[in-house]
A and B are shown apart, each in its own frame.
Chain A
Amino acid sequence: MIVAPETLDLSGVPCPANAARALLRLEGMDPGSLLRIIVDDGEPVLNVPPALEQEGHALLSKEPDAGRWVLLLRRG
Chain B
Amino acid sequence: METNIDNGMARDIYLDNAATTRPDPAVLAAMARADSDCYANASTVHRMGVAAGRLIERARASVAAALGAELPEVVFTSGGTEANNLALKGAAAALADRGDHLIISAVEHPSVSRVAQALACRGLRLSIAPVDREGVVDPAAVRSLLTGRTILVSVMHANNETGAIQPLHEIAMLCRAQGALFHTDACQSFTRRPLDTRGLPADLVTVDAHKLHGPKGVGALYVRRGLRLTPLLDGGGQENGLRSGTYNTAGITGFGEAVALAMRTDAAAITTLRDRFEARLAAAIPDVRINGPVGNRLGTISSVTLPRPDAKTLLHSLSRQGIYLSAGSACAAGRTEPSQVLLAMGLAPEAALRTVRVSLSRFTTEQEVDAAADALARAVREVGG
Task: List residues of A whose CB falls within 8 A of some B CB.
Answer: 12-17, 19-21, 23-24, 43, 47, 51, 54
A47 touches B57 (CB 8 A): no
Question: In the complex, what's the smallest C-beta–C-beta distance from B72 to chain A, in angstroms?
Answer: 8
A51 to B45, CA, bound (A): 8
A16 touches B71 (CB 8 A): no
Q: Is B319 located at the chain interface by the 8 A CB criterion?
A: no
What 13 additional pairs, Cβ within 8 angstroms, besides A20-B54, A21-B71, A24-B57?
A12-B72, A15-B45, A16-B45, A16-B50, A17-B56, A17-B57, A20-B50, A23-B54, A24-B58, A43-B45, A51-B45, A51-B50, A54-B47
Partner of B42 from the list A16, A21, A43, A51 (CB cut-off 8 Å) is: A16
Contact with A along B46-59 (1 / 0, CB 8 A): 01011001101110
Question: In the complex, what's the smallest C-beta–C-beta distance from A48 to chain B, in angstroms?
Answer: 9
Question: In the complex, what's the smallest C-beta–C-beta distance from B245 to chain A, in angstroms?
Answer: 15
A19 touches B71 (CB 8 A): no
Contacts of A54 in B (CB 8 A): 47
Contacts of B240 in A (CB 8 A): 14
Question: In the complex, what's the smallest C-beta–C-beta distance from B240 to chain A, in angstroms?
Answer: 8
Contacts of A47 in B (CB 8 A): 45
A21 to B70, CA, bound (A): 13
Summarize A's interface: helix, strand, loop or mixed. Answer: helix
A19 touches B61 (CB 8 A): no
How many residue pairs link A and B with beta carbons under 8 A? The number is: 36
Enumerate B178-224 residues with CB–CB distance to A below 8 Å: none
A16 touches B61 (CB 8 A): no
Using C-beta atoms within 8 Å of the partner chain, give the interface range for chain B.
Answer: 10 to 19
A16 touches B58 (CB 8 A): no
Task: List residues of B whose CB falls within 8 A of some A CB.
Answer: 42-45, 47, 49-50, 53-54, 56-58, 61, 71-72, 240
Summarize B's interface: helix, strand, loop or mixed. Answer: helix
A47 to B45, CA, bound (A): 7
A-B contacts, 23 listed (Cβ < 8 Å): A15-B45, A16-B42, A16-B44, A16-B45, A16-B50, A16-B53, A17-B53, A17-B56, A19-B45, A19-B50, A20-B53, A20-B54, A20-B56, A20-B57, A21-B57, A23-B50, A23-B54, A24-B54, A24-B57, A24-B61, A43-B45, A47-B45, A51-B45
A12 to B42, CA, bound (A): 18
Contacts of A13 in B (CB 8 A): 72
A17 to B50, CA, bound (A): 7
Contacts of B43 in A (CB 8 A): 16
Contacts of A21 in B (CB 8 A): 57, 71
A54 to B48, CA, bound (A): 11
A15 to B56, CA, bound (A): 12
A13 to B239, CA, bound (A): 10
B57 touches A51 (CB 8 A): no
9 smallest beta-carbon distances between A and B, as pairs? A20-B53, A20-B54, A20-B57, A16-B53, A47-B45, A16-B50, A16-B45, A51-B50, A19-B50
A51 to B49, CA, bound (A): 10
A6 to B305, CA, bound (A): 58
Question: In the complex, what's the smallest C-beta–C-beta distance from B73 to chain A, in angstroms?
Answer: 13
Name, among A13, A14, A17, A43, the residue most crowded by chain B CB atoms within 10 Å (CB to CB): A17
A29 to B50, CA, bound (A): 19
Contacts of B71 in A (CB 8 A): 21
Chain B residue at smallest Cβ distance from A27? B54
A20 to B50, CA, bound (A): 6
Contacts of A20 in B (CB 8 A): 50, 53-54, 56-57
